[in-house]
């Protein structure tokens, strides 16, 4: 009798564990996406205000330095935040040693940027770049100190604290930037914004983590973390170089004004996309790491994750592509209308880049950083070749090359991943094709509606585009497979709202 009583208790415990994990994932997604929604609204407000206070030349000067900062930031993290989050066990000594490694890398990179600031300004032909680069060396130091505090919060699934930090820090930084721009600081307003945000995030994560590192301990080994991080950072460097060769070409060949136009269009599309992908990843990786031994459940999460990211983001990017001109006119002003074709091409590129994103989760969770590096190395030349060929048609050709590249590489990314680990390849391919089909039909319908109607105010034109896309999606839901996808997305929404298991 006692044995029969114990058996259901074991079953209940397992069920409760699955339910709690799903509840955590749902709650984390709700909190994280809510925070990012506010952050994106702040970014839009910043773009609208600062674009009217600063010039494309100001943005171009900062963008030249930001490209270098981006490369350094990959080395500064060294993949150790992901390594710490995915580790089955992490001792206090390991966490402390990782903290000091990231801090040391940050200080070293700050010194390197200071040293190359002069040659960088000479190469860009803009003397202002030297002082901008020297001022921004402090960002490496601040971010180096932040890395393990943030990883600590992610590992402990403290999504609420992260969301609060990720809203307050950019809001405070934006207030500083607007104030500085009103005082006539020009590009220094943007520098102040970057530094202020890095400092605010450091303070927020340090307080939120409720943890302080001790002194480095040579008796505590972190070699497995460094080995994982080394492969991850190599793949990130290859990807970053491949994905930013366009910015480098525009900046150094066509000058800061062209780069300012190009960069603003890029930021309008890619930054919000990253601000959705990054926090969702901070929820997905620790959750997937806990269920990776259950292949059926793991595969179901991956497929659902692709649909949950793919449909709303792809349809949003379709709206951006169709309504690029009124969006630019409304958000940036008349002086930025030359950025419209760039905005359209980046939206097209964003759809393909987003479809391949769930594969990154699998590489990280399964500890396949070496395979990720080899894939990145094998496909890294594709965007470089596309951009170089595109230079024959000027800056617009560069943007077109950037847009074409991810459409060539995302199918390869799924096939490559299926060779190194078990993934639901067929389900991911068919799901992606449905997303592309819905996005394509919606784009055609919305574009036809906007062409047929007479000229409208910018805000009304954007609203009409949104209604046309929504109406088209509604009609496409008459197709059974699309209707099943819509039902799955609604279930995810209900689960998040109710905080029930996924």
Confidence of residue 492 (pLDDT cuts 50, 70, 90): low
Question: Taking Cα atoms as reference points, which of 28, 12, 18 lies closest to residue 298?
Answer: 18
Residue 162 half-sphere exposure toward CB, CA atoms < 13 A = 28
Average pLDDT, the chain: 82
CA distance 494 to 29: 12
Measured at the CA of 171, the angle between CA 166 and CA 177, to 5 degrees, comes to 130
Sign of torsion over alpha carbons 422, 425, 426, 428: positive
Which residues 6+ apart lie within 8 Å of 251 measured at CB?
Answer: 60, 63, 64, 67, 124, 259
Task: Write out pLDDT tens, residues 178-216.
Answer: 999 999 999 899 999 999 999 999 999 999 888 888 888
Burial class (CB in 10 A: 0-12, 13-18, 19+), 454: exposed
CA distance 384 to 390: 10
pTM: 0.66
Helix 128-135 with 187-209: angle, nearest 10 deg:
10
First to last CA, the chain: 34
Question: Taking Cα atoms as reference points, which of 401, 406, 380 lies closest to residue 246?
Answer: 401
More confident residue, 171 or 18: 171
Task: Write out pLDDT tens, residues 9-37.
Answer: 333 344 444 444 555 555 555 566 566 66
CA distance 58 to 290: 46
Task: Write out pLDDT tens, residues 253-306.
Answer: 887 778 888 877 887 787 777 767 766 776 677 777 777 778 888 888 888 888
SS3 87: coil
SS3 163: helix
Per mean pLDDT, which range of 13-22, 170-179, 397-406 is the poorest? 13-22
Res 12: pLDDT: 37
Confidence of residue 499 (pLDDT cuts 50, 70, 90): very low
Sign of torsion over alpha carbons 458, 351, 354, 147: negative
CA distance 155 to 122: 43
Domain boundaries of the chain, sorted by first residue: 19-498
Q: Look at residue 1 and tell me whether its pLDDT is greater than 70.
A: no
User: What mean pLDDT do residues 210-232 have?
Assistant: 82
Share of the chain above pLDDT 70, in %: 89
Give residue for tokens 């047929």: 452
Sign of torsion over alpha carbons 20, 22, 25, 26: negative
Give residue for tokens 């790491």: 289
Residue 330: both structure tokens together: 């409304």
Give residue for tokens 């800056």: 395
Res 434: pLDDT: 95
User: What mean pLDDT do residues 398-403 have?
Assistant: 91
Task: Write out pLDDT tens, residues 344-395.
Answer: 999 999 999 888 888 888 888 887 878 888 888 888 888 889 998 998 898 8
Res 306: pLDDT: 87
CA distance 277 to 358: 9
Res 190: pLDDT: 93
Task: Write out pLDDT tens, residues 36-91.
Answer: 667 777 777 787 788 888 888 888 888 888 878 887 877 777 777 777 877 777 88
Helices within 323-366 (DSSP H only): 324-331, 340-355, 357-365
Give residue for tokens 């954007």: 462
């Amino acid at each position: 009798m006692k044995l029969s009583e114990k058996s259901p208790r074991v079953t209940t415990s397992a069920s409760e564990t699955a339910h709690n994990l799903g509840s955590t994932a749902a709650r984390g997604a709700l909190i994280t996406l809510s925070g990012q929604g506010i952050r994106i609204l702040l970014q839009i407000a910043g773009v609208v205000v600062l674009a009217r206070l600063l010039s494309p030349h100001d943005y171009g000067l900062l963008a030249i330095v930001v490209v270098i900062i981006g490369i350094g930031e990959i080395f500064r993290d060294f993949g150790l935040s992901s390594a710490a989050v995915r580790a089955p066990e992490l001792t206090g000594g390991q966490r402390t040693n990782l903290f000091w490694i990231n801090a040391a890398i940050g200080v070293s990179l700050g010194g390197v940027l200071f040293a190359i600031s002069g040659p960088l300004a000479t190469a860009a032909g803009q003397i202002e770049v030297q002082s901008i680069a020297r001022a921004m060396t402090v960002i490496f130091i601040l971010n180096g100190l932040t890395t393990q505090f943030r990883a600590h919060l992610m590992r402990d699934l403290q999504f609420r604290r992260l969301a609060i930090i990720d809203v307050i820090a950019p809001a405070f930084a934006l207030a500083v930037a607007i104030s500085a721009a009103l005082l006539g600081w020009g590009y220094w307003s943007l520098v102040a914004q970057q530094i202020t945000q890095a400092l605010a995030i450091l303070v927020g994560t340090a307080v939120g983590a409720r943890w302080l590192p001790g002194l480095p301990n040579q008796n505590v080994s972190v070699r497995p973390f460094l080995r994982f991080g080394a492969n991850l950072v190599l793949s990130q460097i290859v990807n970053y170089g491949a994905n930013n060769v366009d910015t480098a070409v525009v900046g150094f060949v066509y000058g800061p004004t062209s780069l300012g136009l190009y960069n603003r269009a890029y930021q309008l599309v890619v930054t919000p996309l990253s601000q959705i992908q990054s926090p969702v990843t901070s929820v997905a990786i620790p959750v997937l790491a806990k269920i990776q031994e259950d292949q059926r459940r793991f595969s179901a999460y991956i497929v659902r994750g692709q649909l949950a990211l793919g449909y709303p983001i792809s349809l949003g990017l379709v709206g951006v592509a169709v309504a690029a001109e009124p969006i630019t006119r409304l958000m940036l002003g008349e002086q930025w209308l030359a950025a419209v074709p760039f905005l359209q091409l980046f939206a097209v590129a964003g759809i393909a880049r987003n479809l391949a994103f769930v594969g990154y989760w699998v590489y990280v969770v399964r500890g396949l950083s070496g395979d990720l590096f080899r894939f990145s190395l094998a496909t890294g030349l594709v965007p470089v070749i596309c951009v170089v060929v595109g230079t024959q048609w000027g800056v617009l050709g560069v943007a077109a090359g950037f847009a074409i590249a991810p459409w060539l590489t995302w199918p390869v990314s799924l096939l490559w991943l299926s060779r190194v680990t078990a993934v639901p390849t067929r389900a991911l391919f068919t799901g992606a094709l449905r997303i592309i089909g819905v996005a394509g039909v919606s784009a055609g319908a919305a574009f036809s509606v906007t062409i047929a109607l007479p000229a409208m105010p910018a805000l009304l034109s954007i609203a009409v585009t949104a209604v046309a896309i929504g109406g088209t999606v509604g009609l496409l839901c008459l197709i059974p497979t699309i209707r099943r996808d819509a039902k799955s997305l609604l279930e995810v929404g209900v689960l998040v709202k109710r905080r029930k298991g996924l």
